[in-house]
Structure 1
Amino acid sequence: MRLTTHTDYALRTLMFLAAHDDSQTIDDIASAYDISKNHLMKVVQRLAGAGFITSQRGRGGGLKLARNSSEVNIGDVVRTMEEVNQFVECSPGSKNHCVVTPVCGLSRVMADAVAAFLAHLDKFTLEDVMGKRQLFAEIFALEKLDS
């Protein structure tokens, strides 16, 4: 299983914001990870819409976590960014053109696998995956100096 680039960027954005106490810009995040600003803008919109981050426009604005990193569940982030209900064509709610669906158990197996994957992610928060927050902040500070 592979998560989309948007989910990858969402998780990285949240880690970047968790490593900083002050507001950060999309440019700051894109530069730190050397990733596409255009893609990141879409990711940030989705994260803000889902309530993971706050976005303030204008001078002195920027992005911040909307809640403490211990309250940001990794499974929730993945569910927000991914279409986890349609893993295979015959998943419920999809346009199914597969002729073996009436006798096939693949959709149930896949649904169970995705549920187990998400249940595992639900055990972790942003704080858990950050490890030592200070080390993240130091890495980002070093990257900024090298730019």
Structure 2
Amino acid sequence: MQLTRHTDYALRVLLHLTVVPTGRATIPEIATAYGLSRNHLMKVVHHLAQGGFIETQRGRGGGFTLARPPAHIRIGAVVRHSEPDMKMADCAACAIRPACGLSGVLTEATNAFLSVLDRYSLTDAARDRGRLAALIAALPAPAPGVSEACVPS
């Protein structure tokens, strides 16, 4: 199973917010630091806000923050929100589906995968907080003059 780029970016944003000292970030900051597309990241941030994982603030001094403590944000919930269709295979149109037991096996495997992710929070993912914060601090900063208030509505 491979998670989409959307989910990868969502998890990076949330981990970033978990460990940065201010607890606040902007799209230019994260896009530059991780070498991500600003347009794609804007959609991810908007989607995270819709899911109640982050809060956004527009304008000068704007950006986004976690909507609740990192210990209360489960990795499984983020993945479910970012991956609404977690099918490992598309069995719906398969000619042998009526006699095949693979669909049930794959569903069970997906549920087991999500069950493991449900046991962990952002706090668990950021357990080496000091090292993560140091690595994030060493990432590139946005170029001077780049608007820091890039937050989707």
TM-score by length of 1: 0.89
Q: Residues 21-100 of structure 1 correspond to what in structure 2 (within 5 A)?
A: 21-90=22-91, 96-100=92-96
CA deviations over 1:35-86 (Å, ceiling 9, x no partner) = 1111111111110000000010011110100111111100000000113443
**Could you list the per-position Cα deviations for residues 83-105 of structure 1 after superposition, in whole angstroms to 9, with x for gaps in the alignment?**
34433222xxxxx3211111111
Cα separation, 1, equivalents of 2:115 and 2:85: 12
Whether contact under 8 Å (2:25, 2:63) holds in the other structure is yes
Letter in 2 for 1:105: G
Higher relative contact order (CA 8 A, sep 6+): 2
Amino acid of the structure 1 residue aligned with 2:12: R
1:139 Cα deviation after fit? 1.4
The CA distance in 1 between the partners of 2:116 and 2:4, in whole Å, is 18
What's 1:126 paired with? 122
Closer, same or farther: CA 85–34 of 1 in aligned 2, 3 Å: closer
Q: Is residue 2:137 matched to residue 1:141?
A: yes
Aligned pairs, how many? Answer: 141
CA contact (8 A) 2:23 2:66 kept: no
Query: In structure 1, what is the Cα distance between the partners aligned to 2:60 and 2:41?
Result: 20
Identical aligned residues as a percent? 47
TM-score (ref. length: structure 2): 0.86
Q: Deviations over 1:15-52 (max 9, x none)?
A: 11111224210111111111111111111111000000
Structure 1 alignment gaps of length 5 or more: 91-95
Specify which structure has the higher proportion of helix: 1
Letter in 2 for 1:123: R
Partner-residue secondary structure (3-state), 1:116? helix
Could you say what the CA RMSD is over the residues aligned between the two structures, in angstroms?
A: 1.5
Alpha-carbon distance, 1:121 to partner: 0.6
What is the alpha-carbon distance in structure 1 between the residues aligned to residue 30 and residue 117 of structure 2?
Answer: 24
SS of structure 1 residue aligned to 2:3: coil
| AA aligned opposite 2:16 | F
Structure 2 gap segments, 5+ residues each: 144-153
Give the 4+ runs in structure 1 shifted more than 6 A: none
Contact kept, 8 Å, 2:72 with 2:121, in 1: the verdict is yes
Residue 117 to residue 22, structure 1, CA distance change in 2 (3 Å): closer
